[in-house]
Structure 1
Amino acid sequence: MTILVTGARGTVSAGLLRHLAGTGADVRIASSAPRPDQSLLDLHDPATFSAALEGVSQVFLYTNAATAADFACAAAAAGVRHVVLLSSNAVTTVADPDVNPMAAPFSAAETALSAGPVPVTVLRPGSFASNARQWVYGIRAERAVDLPYPDARVDAVDEADVAEVAYRALTDPGLWGATLDLTGPDAVSLVEQIRILAAVLGEEIGVNRVTREQWKRSVNRYMTSEYADALLDYWRALEIHPAPVSTAVATVTGRPATGFRTWVERNVGMFR
């Protein structure tokens, strides 16, 4: 049984590969810029699919809506028996997921892959705990973070938990075809995340409430205006209704989901 893992440079894939390393499974690592011991698979280029999928029985797949239908066809032609798709719970937590830029690519990929003959297990993580990395510069340089909606309560999930669930989905046929919403153990406000960071670092971190436009200007180098507006609307809604939390991590792994403080304690070095 050969397992193809895409997105080799991604955090979830890296965690999944660590789990698989101890099993003796035949693992094929794929990347758009592969090392000599890896396979070429560019999710933007369907011409790379067939060779990478040859002899593969299962796939861990990052989302690319533009080529998801092509991938589904190539997987079926190669005899793939199961795909684990890394999606997002935005498809169920935002309005109009088919057009909302936070959800639309994931919704389209889920639809395209599910329409094919290969069983698909869909992993829908919420907001990654590692999104806190966006605050590194402010914490290091100014000991302060700018937040437009500091009281937004998010479902911060540890990417390591997502990787472990992906591993279980690949090794437990009972999970084939399941859709799993993956969250942290509770909804934690952004300002509470800052407080936790400050406590673990042992220093004060200020919180500046900024306007939507101020925040959009601060991220316009790497985020489209449409995506920024969708994210701001999402945070605004979470100030009123916290993100729902799921027990799927605990159910699948047999242990509690990792809380945000534990994630910070494991990753505090990046904020120093």
Structure 2
Amino acid sequence: MKWQGRRGSANIEDRRGSAARGVGRVTGLGAVAILLLGYFLGVDVTPLLDQGPVYETSGELTSEDRAMGDFVSVTLADTEEVWAEIFANALGREYQPVTLVLYSQVTPSACGNASGATGPFYCPVDKKVYLDTDFFTTLSRQLGAGGDFAAAYVVAHEVAHHVQDELGILDQVNAVRARSSEAQSNALSVRIELQADCFSGIWARQAAESFGSIEKGDIAEAMNAAAKIGDDTLQRNAGRRPMPDSFTHGTSEQRQRWFATGFDKGDLRACDTFASRNL
């Protein structure tokens, strides 16, 4: 992905280096399994991890930290331009960009604590995306989904949830989920997540056309990441038998297919997972 030297976003809230209280860094395969389970089930599993002492960070960012922050900022700027254009041309309305919070280890959000146990997420209450860039290390080293475009896919997916919020989709679906059974709520969650994957595909297509930032192999990185974080794959890798009623994000095949649909079609109407009989 060609991102160096390009415009970054002004909508970054960088909390890295701030004093914080919370858990220590997750270490060990057992802790990683807990972290991934919590992230992909949408549950904060911080109490299951070693609580560790109160700590204060040094306030100094490494060159790698700064580079990753710059990368996220450029990726976010790309999403802003893409969605502003789509909202204007396809919907005749203005897109309100999301704020992305960069943090280290733990930080408060209006949706509860953000930590390594929650993974990246979008909070509709304060309309912010929360991201500890250490998650990209987990994605690459533990899940086998390396590459800068795999990381860009993660950012684009969380921004896509904000797009859903802007379109009024999240409020409608979450209202239904609140009065549904657990299995029905999970099924609706899958449709939300697959639509976000599809929207991510639209972003990737538009980024390739508008910025020329997509390089050979980038889409394959995103597709690989989508496969590695499918519910069925994660449950198998955790030594469990896949249980579809517990899926909240979709299978590996579904996540790949809906990302590809967005990339191939480039049209919001093609991403209506709620009307689709075949997810």
TM-score by length of 1: 0.29
More strand, by proportion: 1
* TM-score normalised over the length of structure 2: 0.28
